[in-house]
Structure 1
Amino acid sequence: MRGPALSSLALSAAEEDGFQPPTISETHLPEIFPWMAEWGTGFGKNMLMAILAVLLIWWLFSAGIRKQALVPGRGQFLAEGAYAFVRNTIGRDILGDKHFKPWIPLLFTVFFFVLFNNLFGAIPGLQMPTFSHAGPAYAMAALVWITWVVLGFKLHGAKFMKLMTVPSGVPKPLLIILTPLEFLSNFVIRPLTHSLRLMAVMLAGHIIVMLCGSGAEFLITQQEGVLNTGLGIAILLGSVPLYFLELIMMVLQAFVFALLTAIYIQGSIEADAH
């Protein structure tokens, strides 16, 4: 009964020209170049921002390391510090001194690509995190999933499947239950949670921004009275700390995504360590 009741209230509000909160469908902007209209897809804002992120990363780090001075300037210092953060905090600390070096380019790319696309949601005019949509998040998680699965089979052969699905030291009767669960956990649930965690946080932040903006606009421009105007202004002021909280979550989610990437790769490398 709750669902129909809420739907009736929303319809009544719409008929009375009341406040109409933004919906998830409104986050899907029209495609810039729709080439498969029947499937509702094409070249859209998300794809444009993904390309923009690649260009910005290339330009910023190329400019930062162009001079390569012994005493680094501000740009070189920031570029080297960013690289060192990924290299040491994510790469070496997770993969270990023996294995981390070949994976630094991947981890560096994953971290900064996700970070830049997340930060687009905090820039006026762009105001949409690329990964607030499931498609880009699924694509990133799929690339990581393919990487660690292929690596596992390359290092361990067919034994990798057993290492990832058959727990050691478990009584054989329990393996009937645990083996399918381990398979689902490692090969199905892991990539889904890797992507949906990022998408859900970015989408939630984006919806909050839309809700605050539309609610404040409705109270200030479409409602009469000092109280409604003051409430609208209060919502705008209250959205400021939410904005900075969203910034923190954008950086944190990029770090978590890259960190999990390193953990999954480390799991493939040392699958038979036990």
Structure 2
Amino acid sequence: MTLTAPASISTLAPAASGGEGFEAPTPAIFWQPLFEVGGITVTNQMAWAGIITAVLCVVMVRLSKNAAVVPSKGQWLFEGFYNFPRNTVARDMIGTKEFKRFLPLLVSLFAMVLFFNLAGSFFLTMNPVTGKIAFPIAMTVVVYVVYHWIGFQRMGFVGYFKHMVPPGLPGWIAPVIFLLELVTYFITRPLTLALRLFGNMFAGHMVVYLFVTAGAYFLLDADGILLRLMSLPTFLMAGVMILFELLVQFLQAFVFVLLTASYIAGALADDH
């Protein structure tokens, strides 16, 4: 096992001393290796993904196992968290008849995406787990397999493809619509689901990091009192962007689960 020094603010901050001027951050700030095991590099995001997943599992199991008619404060908070994806997403999108069997998947996805996103605003990490494309892809693969499996199971192999073309279309346009729907179901949906989450977390973290490092440059390395005073509004904007990111992190978790539920609902539908 080869240890690699973890990234820190001091090592990630752009070099600004020595008269070199401010250097804007690059995507390299997302590469934070911790150590290597057998040629596999374990990164900061991987470690926090494991910690967050383990904590979520323990908390959810304990609060569910000890549920009572008169809830404790912890159970009350957990039920509020659980009811949001249950009632706002699953039941409304999938329908009262079918939604319950998909709750474990939808609630788990909502919790994982939300807390993976929030790692970008947590002072110990300040780096969203979903800012690495592998994590959105992994969760998207699960969604991809589930909704296609449901469609094949419900309609059969041929029927699943037939339902992509609405009935009553002129014969000449049906092949075009089928091709467009095929691309949508098998390429566009998973691609946009993963890239939307990744892009928002990646871009948001870059903007926050830009303001933080620019503020540090103005305060510590810039010449002149006016430039040093510029650090105050720059740090203020960093704080504003962190608050904005908190909203985006929640919304992206909601959108990810909402789209997942809509894909499942489409696979369960009797018609197009």
Q: TM-score of the superposition, structure 1-length normalised? A: 0.88
Q: Distance between the aligned counterparts of 1:229 and 1:63, measured in 2? A: 51
| Residue 65 (structure 1) shift | 4.0
Q: Which amino acid aligns with 1:21?
A: A
- Counterpart CA distance in 2 for 1:73 and 1:86 is 21
Q: Which residue of 2 aligns with 1:182?
A: 181
Are the aligned partners of 1:219 and 1:228 in contact in 2 as well (CA < 8 Å)?
A: yes
Evaluate the alpha carbon distance shift between residue 72 and residue 214 of structure 1 in structure 2; reply closer, same or farther with a 3 A threshold.
Answer: same
After superposition, residues 13-162 of structure 1 pair within 5 angstroms as: 17-33=20-36, 35-36=38-39, 42-65=41-64, 67-158=66-157, 159-162=159-162
- Unaligned 5+ residue runs, structure 1? 1-12
What is the CA–CA distance in structure 2 between the aligned matches of 1:140 and 1:69, rounded to whole Å?
32
CA apart distance, 1:56: 1.7
Give the CA deviation at 1:87. 1.5
Offset at residue 236 of structure 1 (A): 0.5
Q: Do residues 163 (structure 1) and 163 (structure 2) align? A: yes
* DSSP 3-state at the match of 2:172: helix
CA contact (8 A) 2:31 2:43 kept: no
Deviations 1:202-236 (Å, cap 9, x if unpaired)?
00111011101111111111112221111012110
2:208 is matched with which residue?
Answer: 209
d(CA) in 2 for partners of 1:250, 1:22: 21
* Higher alpha-carbon deviation: 172-181 or 239-248: 172-181
| Backbone CA RMSD of aligned residues | 1.9
CA drift of 1:130 comes to 0.8
Instruction: Say which structure is richer in helix.
Output: 1
Segments of 4+ in structure 1 off by > 6 A? none
Query: Which aligned pairs between 1:183-198 and structure 2 lie closer than 5 A?
Result: 183-198=182-197
Q: Deviations over 1:9-42 (max 9, x none)?
A: xxxx999601100011222223522644xxxx63
Amino acid at match of 1:273: D
Name stretches of at least 5 consecutive residues in structure 2 with no aligned partner. Answer: 1-15
3-state DSSP of counterpart to 1:43:
strand
> How many residues get paired?
256
Secondary structure of the structure 2 residue equivalent to 1:145: helix
Following TM superposition, by how much is the alpha carbon of 1:109 offset from its aligned partner in structure 2, in angstroms?
0.5
* Post-superposition offset of 1:169: 2.2
Aligned position for 2:271: 273
Counterpart of 1:173 in 2: which secondary structure? Answer: coil
| Other structure's SS at 2:41 match | strand
214-223 or 46-55, which moves further after superposition? Answer: 46-55
